[in-house]
Structure 1
Amino acid sequence: AAEQLRVHREMERADEVPVVIYHSHTATEAYPSRTDVSYAHEPDAHYVLVSTRDPERHELRSYRIVDGVITEEPVEVVDSYAPQTSGADDAPDRT
């Protein structure tokens, strides 16, 4: 908890906000617990949960949690990710 508070304070000083907050559930499904919901204070964050309760098959799910309301969102697992560019204007000028 002390580490999380330190990181949160550093982010506030840098005017940053968390985009993804994740953790694992080792004995239950990948669904937010009452404790998870009570700590969910970032309405724009994606709350990603991984369940390792079944050693043969891990479960990964993502949610938005706003004012105590849990909304699951789709997750697509890809082999790799390359940021998309909008065109030639994104490339540095070469002279």
Structure 2
Amino acid sequence: MLTLHIKLVEAMLAQAQKDHPVETCGVIAGPIGSNLPQRLIPMQNVAQSEDFFQFDSLQHLKVWREMETRGEAPVVIYHSHTKTPAYPSKTDVKYAAEPKAHYVIISSNRLYGEEIRSFRIVDGIVIEERIKIVNTYQPNLEQLKVA
């Protein structure tokens, strides 16, 4: 199960709506070894596509180095689907490179509402997991940051 603070969910949804019809993307970092997403980092989709996302390679390197310096890891990798339901495409599965990350997909297509789903993707296997949205992390709300 993935537990997400409501502020992070709201930030992802707002970013997806702002970037629509281009797929939005980003990362939520948290302390290494934890399962606590804390700091939302919007990323640039250099593909500028309605059905594919790709992190800018320089931004990707910079963000991963910054996380390492801060003692963080990518707890969540998120992106939107602008034409389809929030379920990993074959391309999403192929490029899922962080086996410990939760892959969150947001549908920004009005046909599906503001659908948000989370998956674990390891070695081509997709497993959906529940998302619990909370107003407070216990015990450390002051660590929550939206960049």
The answer to whether TM tops 0.5 is: yes
More strand by share: 2
Q: 1:3-22 to 2 correspondence within 5 Å? A: 3-12=59-68, 16-22=72-78
CA distance in 2, matches of 1:71, 1:7: 27
Match for 1:32: what amino acid? P
Write 1 or 2 for the structure with the bigger share of helix: 2
From 59, 74, 91, give the equivalent of 1:35: 91
Query: Superposition RMSD on alpha carbons, in Å?
Result: 2.1
Give the letter for the 1:43 counterpart: P
- Corresponding residue number in structure 1 for 2:41: none
Larger Rg: 1
C-alpha separation in 2, matches of 1:83 and 1:12: 24
Which aligned segments of 4 or more residues in structure 1 are displaced greater than 3 angstroms?
9-16
Where relative contact order (Cα < 8 A, 6+ residues apart) is larger, the structure is: 2
1:84 is aligned to 139
What count of residue pairs does the alignment treat as equivalent?
A: 84
Consecutive unaligned residues of structure 2, counting only runs of 5 or more, are 1-55, 141-147
What's the TM-score, normalizing by structure 1? 0.73
Which stretches in structure 1 are left out of the alignment for 5+ residues?
86-95
> How does the TM-score come out when normalised to structure 2?
0.50
